[in-house]
Amino acid sequence: MSDHSSPQPAATTSSATTSSAPFGAVSHPPARRIRVGDGPRTRALLIGSVLFVTALVLVVPLLAIFAEALRHGWGAYLTSFAAPDTQYAMLLTLCVALIVVPINIGFGIASAWCIAKFRFRGRNLLVALVELPFSISPIIAGVAYLFVYGAQGLLGPFLEAHDIKIMFAVPGIVLASLFVTAPFVARELIPLMIAQGSEEEEAAVTLGAGGWRILRLVTLPNVRFALLYGAALCNARVMGEFGAVSVVSGNIRGQTNTLPLQIELLYQDNNAIAAFAVATVLTAVALVTLVVKAIIERLDAARVKAQGRPGH
């Protein structure tokens, strides 16, 4: 039952593994299986209107980013990246992602291990807690962190006494990003590890393997694609996080400005070309993430067909 307890929609690794129910297909010859909406006119109308709206709301915005960035040609586009502040923002964003993604991979594995392999009181509550950051506005997350580590916050006096700076500095950006992306890897791993069961791990235990060996040689190979996709999504989100980071960063040019904040600054400076040029980098990250996802789903579907069990 906890397979479907996740309120988040994007758990597509599990949706890819469910095949449509076999009822009806056995007792009816295929010719009689005309279903609701299969009439040619309904079909054409629905597909046509959905494709039209999708082109307007999902394709055109992506094209607009590249069109605006290249409005004055490749020369202007490329010089946008020569600005030192923009280069610094790229470096900072990369560093934050390099810290946050591995930590949240670790958290994802640990939480999926205890939730999928064991039954205990409060397990459903724990699942809800893991997914909680999804439902909270990034602005709230930023404000909440300010109330912990800011000058007037819970730990403010202590931090000031020891001369530790967290808010309006890189540690604050890292913490806010950790909060916002905490569920990404866990959400991909938990349903898959529950669906796969624990037989292979139990067999490994009886053969004398220790916990770390089981994790490395049995569990992680079994979930590697879901792990990879979770990490890719986590990375895209860290690099693109705006709301939470804009509260805690203080927007200091060349010091605490990540790429999305740099986009806003450039836009406010009426440097639209540069703003869109920086935006194309983050758009490329997003598109690569989606390509990774599409490849993984295809591999997964092929494996399910071959082995009849949910994805490796």
Partner 1 sequence: MNRVIPGYPLSLGITLFYLCLIVLLPLGALVWQALDVGWERYVAIMSGARTASAFRVTLTTAALATLFNAVYGLALAWVLVRYEFPGRRFIDALVDVPFALPTAVAGLALSALFVKNGWFGAPLAALGISVAYTPLGIAAAMAFTSIPFVVRTVQPVLEDLATDVEEAAATLGASDWRIFARIIFPAIFPAFLTGASLAFARSLGEFGAIIFIAGNLPLKTEVVSLLTFIRIEEYDYPAAAAIASTLLGLAFVLLFLVNMIQLWQQRRIGTGD
Task: Retrieve residue 214's tokens.
Answer: 């089981």
For the CB of residue 303, give the shortest distance to partner 1 in the complex, in Å.
17
Radius of gyration over alpha carbons of the chain, in Å?
A: 24
Return d(Cα 252, Cα 219) in angstroms, integer: 43
Q: How far is the CB of 217 from partner 1 (least distance, A)?
A: 14
Neighbours of 178 (CB within 10 A): 20
> Does residue 81 bind partner 1 (CB under 8 A)?
no
- Locate 158 and state its tokens: 């202590």
Considering the complex, state which of residue 18 and residue 79 has its C-beta at the smaller distance from partner 1. 18
Stretch binding partner 1 (CB under 8 A), from 44-52, 72-80, 84-92, 158-166: 44-52
Q: For residue 23, which amino acid is it?
A: F
Binders of partner 1 in range 243-302 (CB under 8 A): 243, 246-247, 259-261, 263-264, 267, 272, 275-276, 279, 282-283, 285-287, 289-291, 293-294
Question: For tokens 């006494």, what's the residue?
Answer: 161
Instruction: Answer yes or no whether residue 211 interacts with partner 1 by CB under 8 A.
Output: yes
User: Look-up: residue for tokens 């996802």?
Assistant: 293
CA-based nearest residue to 172, from 193, 192, 189, 150: 150
Window of 30-38, 78-86, 158-166, 302-310 that interacts with partner 1 by CB under 8 A: 30-38
56-75 footprint of partner 1 as x/- string (CB under 8 A): xxxxxxx-xx--x-------
Instruction: Quote the tokens at residue 19.
Output: 């095949």
Q: Which of residues 25 and 252 has its CB atom nearest to partner 1 in the complex?
A: 25
Cα gap 132→250, rounded to integer Å: 26
Which two structure tokens, joined as six digits, stand for 142? 């930023």
Nearer to partner 1, 99 or 140 (CB): 140
Q: Which of residues 138-197 bind partner 1 (CB under 8 A)?
A: 138-148, 152-154, 175, 178-179, 182
Residues of this chain, 100-119, that bind partner 1 according to CB under 8 A = 106-107, 110-111, 113-115, 117-119
Phi then psi dihedrals of residue 186, to 5 deg = -55, -40
Q: Which is nearer to partner 1, 217 or 287 (CB)?
A: 287
Contact 245, 257 (CB under 8 A): no
Residue placing its CB nearer to partner 1 in the complex, 198 or 255: 198
